[in-house]
Amino acid sequence: MINSGETKAAKLPDTSARVRIREDLETNLIVEAGAGSGKTTELIGRMVALVSTGSALVHEIAAVTFTRKSAAELRERFQRRLEGLIRDQGPDSDESVRERLVLALYDIDRVFIGTIHSFCAGLLRERPLEIGLDPTFEQLPADERVRVESDFWDGYLERLVREADPILGELAEVKLDPSYLRNLFSEVVKHPDVVFPDDTLKTLQAPEMAALNDEFKDIVKQGWELIPKQEPRGKWDGLQKVIRDLHYTHDVTRWNEPGGFLDALSKLCRPTTFVKNRWLSPELAKVFNDRVKEFALNNELAVRGADAQNARRYQLAMRMAIQAAQEFADYRRRIGRLDYQDLLALSAELLRRSADARHQLGQRYRRILVDEFQDTDPLQTEILFLLASEPSGSAEEVEIDWRREDPRPGALFLVGDPKQSIYSFRRADIDLYTFVKHRFRDFGSVLELTMNFRSRPPIGALVNELFGKGGLFPEKGSEEQAPFQPLNTRTSDSSAPEGVYSYSLDRVDRHVRRLIASDDSARLATWIASRVTAGERAPGDFMILTRDRKQLSVYARELEKWGLPVQVTGAGVSAEEELQELQTLLECMIDPGNPIKVVAVLVGLFFGIDYEQLV
């Protein structure tokens, strides 16, 4: 076995795990690798081991990464590692190993290294007809996809009106404007594999509604008598708005009909704001607010009626959104313009429906390696499991459930760290990660990389103290949070000062954040500039982390005063509030049919319209 790695594993506490990654090539492995553990190095080491031992040809390997940038880096490092190993082969080296390495380098363009979406696009291009796709299908650019979706939604609503679709009448009964379901439609489009519940609750019968009607009307009457005729200086509170709305609309909302009454009831039973000093009598207003709470929370008929009405709204809204999303998916497939989610959904459908395609593609990609697995969603995980396992029969005969599939020996290698997962992003889920980890105990092994090459011992000690036993992280994992794993850091071989230091800022007026940031940034910039000027450090050696991004521009400007180059990064970072407002305005211009974005612009910096004026 050649040394296919870049780290010296002999003295590390997790040496046995690193050895298994490079030598146990016929076992499915999931590797929990903490920050700075060298996980990418180990993933490359396994790829090199696969080709050097003849366990796989380079074109039989698929390495799936989370971003295009990380894919490019992985490809470059894999190539450099192959070149280095070939160069290091001596006269006593195994000639067959050298030949396999040379062949892998020669064919390196045939290895797949990329994102899950580009991987799925490749699967579909190999078997398009089996899924009813035009072989010349294209991927929709993100900006064009927004426009296509918006145009389709507008056309869909126009068709419903033109054809007098019954759904419009049902929506009207529960006071739902179909145009306001645009965002719901978008969410369903993003998650085509999610099965949304379709339960309904038993609504109130006529005698039950009659029993509620008198008390309901009396509550509205009592509230109206306590509301001032002129709007208070602090604006109407939430409960006042509800009472005013019910008072002014009771003649036109058909309280005597089931739909109208339940709609009014659900409005009163929703939680809302209450400010007693904005009512004619604060004392009586408090008593009234308590009465409303008692009615909304403890009156069994009121609770059941409001819940049933909301459930009916939900059912109708979901029915319409799901139908529209399905028609939109059919439309995209028909015209051969697929978005990222289509690539995933259709790939999973292909592997479910065609046992032959699943077998052939599984042989085409015999070894699948996945980086950042903690950020993988259920649909992506299904694709990986189906591709790595053999079908037990024809798709028509067997109900496919990826959760019960056992991958071929050595077919799957997953690397992840549940502590680093951005779970809600793209539906990544710690429950999914935990499930897969437990399944690997059935058909493979779970390894841990605990060494941290990125931090010095003082940093590791501080992190372990803050987040370890009795600290900020739970000692045991839960459904919401992965357990903390202590950092094992290397002993420093540098004579440079290291450690964790703190300093105190003078108290400023009312702890105004901008004043604090101004003082803090001036101190930091002066200290950093002194280190750079003395030649002790380069500007790129420093990183400033803040609790949030609102004051980042203050730090950036202070550093720029010293002539230090600055790069401000982070999701959604903008230098000033004005730029963020401009971004919102541009998003609204791209998608003017989205009422949420329109309202955000109207009440924002450029227009400044009050919410009350919009209502």
List residues bridging with 383 in a β-sheet: none
String of DSSP letters for 438-490: HHHHHHEEEEEE-EESSS-HHHHHHHHHHHSTTSSS-SS--SS-PPP---EEP
189 with 319, same domain?
Answer: yes
Query: Is 145 inside a domain boundary?
Result: yes
Pair (55, 178) in one structural domain: no
Place 454 in a pLDDT band, splitting at 50, 70 and 90. Answer: confident
Summarised one tens digit per residue, pLDDT across range 9-42 is 457 888 999 999 999 999 999 999 987 889 999 9
- Specify the higher pLDDT residue, 398 or 77: 77
Least confident of 274-278, 330-334, 495-499: 495-499
Q: What is the DSSP string of 211-270?
A: HHHHHHHHHHHHHHHHS-SSPPTT---HHHHHHHHHHHHTTTTTTTSHHHHHHHHHHHHS
Tell me, yes or no, whether 375 lies in a domain.
yes
What is the structure's pLDDT at 200? 64
Report whether 302 contacts 265 (CB < 8 A). yes
Residue 472 in contact with residue 465, Cβ under 8 Å?
no
- Between CA 260 and CA 540 the distance in angstroms is 65
Number of structural domains the chain divides into: 6
Bridge partners for 113 per DSSP: 63
Reported as a pLDDT band with limits 50, 70 and 90, residue 426 is low
41 closest CA partner among 420, 419, 412, 449: 449
Q: Is residue 587 assigned to a domain?
A: yes
Angle between helices 300-335 and 166-173 (to 10 degrees): 150
Give the model's pLDDT for residue 308.
80
Do 44 and 67 lie in one domain? The reply is yes
Alpha-carbon distance of 452 to 470, in angstroms, equals 22
Of 273-277, 498-502, 581-585, the range with the highest mean pLDDT is: 273-277
Residues 345 and 331 in one domain: no
Task: Reply yes or no on whether the pLDDT at 541 is more than 60.
Answer: yes
Q: Which of the two residues, 449 and 4, has the higher pLDDT score?
A: 449
**How far, in Å, are 54, 167, 308 from residue 319 at the CA level?**
53, 9, 16
Residues 431 and 289 in one domain: no
Residue 469 has pLDDT above 80, yes or no: no
3-state secondary structure of 337: strand
pLDDT at 517: 82
Same-domain pairing of 286 and 350 = no
Whether 571 is in a domain gets the answer no
289 and 395 share one domain:
no
Q: Tell me which residue range forms the domain holding 481.
A: 455-490
pLDDT per residue as tens digits for the range 193-226 = 888 776 666 777 777 777 788 888 899 999 999 9
Q: What is the pLDDT of residue 2?
A: 60
Token representation of residue 106: 């020669």
Task: Supply the angle between the helices 300-335 and 206-226 in degrees, to the nearest 10.
Answer: 100
Asked if 319 and 195 sit in the same domain, the reply is: yes
Residue 253, C-beta contacts closer than 8 angstroms, at least 6 positions apart: 175, 260, 263, 264
Q: Clarify whether residues 113 and 50 are in a common domain.
A: yes
Predicted pLDDT at 394: 56
More confident call, 569 vs 315: 315
pLDDT exceeds cutoff 90 at 368:
yes
User: Cα(388)–Cα(506) distance, rounded to whole angstroms?
Assistant: 60
Q: Are residues 382 and 295 in the same domain?
A: no
The SS3 call for residue 65 is strand
Please report which helix (H) or strand (E) contains residue 62, including its range: strand 61-65
Q: What percent of the chain has pLDDT over 90?
A: 48
Q: Find the length of the chain.
A: 615
Instruction: Let me know whether 394 and 354 are in one domain.
Output: yes
Q: What is the pLDDT of residues 237-250, one digit of tens each?
A: 999 999 998 888 77
pLDDT over 70 at 495, yes or no: no
CATH number of the domain encompassing residue 395: 3.40.50.300
Query: Quick check: is 360 in a domain?
Result: yes
- Residue 502, pLDDT > 80, answer no
Higher confidence at residue 59 or residue 497?
A: 59
CA torsion angle for 451, 454, 457, 460 (degrees, to 10)? Answer: -80
Within a domain: residue 230? yes
The answer as to whether 345 is a domain residue is yes
Residue 118 confidence (pLDDT): 95
**pTM summary value:** 0.74
298 token code pair:
């403890």
Each residue of 129-170: pLDDT tens digit? Answer: 999 899 999 999 877 888 899 999 999 999 999 999 999 988
Strand order, beta sheet including 412-416: 112-115, 61-65, 367-370, 412-416, 28-33, 444-449
Closest of 278, 306, 280 to residue 292, by C-alpha: 306
435 shares its domain with 378: yes
> Residue 172 in 3-state DSSP?
helix
Mean pLDDT of 334-356: 93
What is the structure's pLDDT at 253? Answer: 55
Contact present, 91 and 61 (Cβ < 8 Å): no
Token pair 């002066």: residue: 526
Q: What is the mean pLDDT of the chain?
A: 85
CA separation, residue 222 to residues 114, 268, 282, 289, 375 (Å) = 65, 13, 14, 11, 53
Asked whether residue 262 is assigned to any structural domain, the reply reads: no
Where does the pLDDT of residue 186 fall: very low under 50, low under 70, confident under 90, or very high at 90 and above? very high
Average pLDDT estimate for 424-442: 81
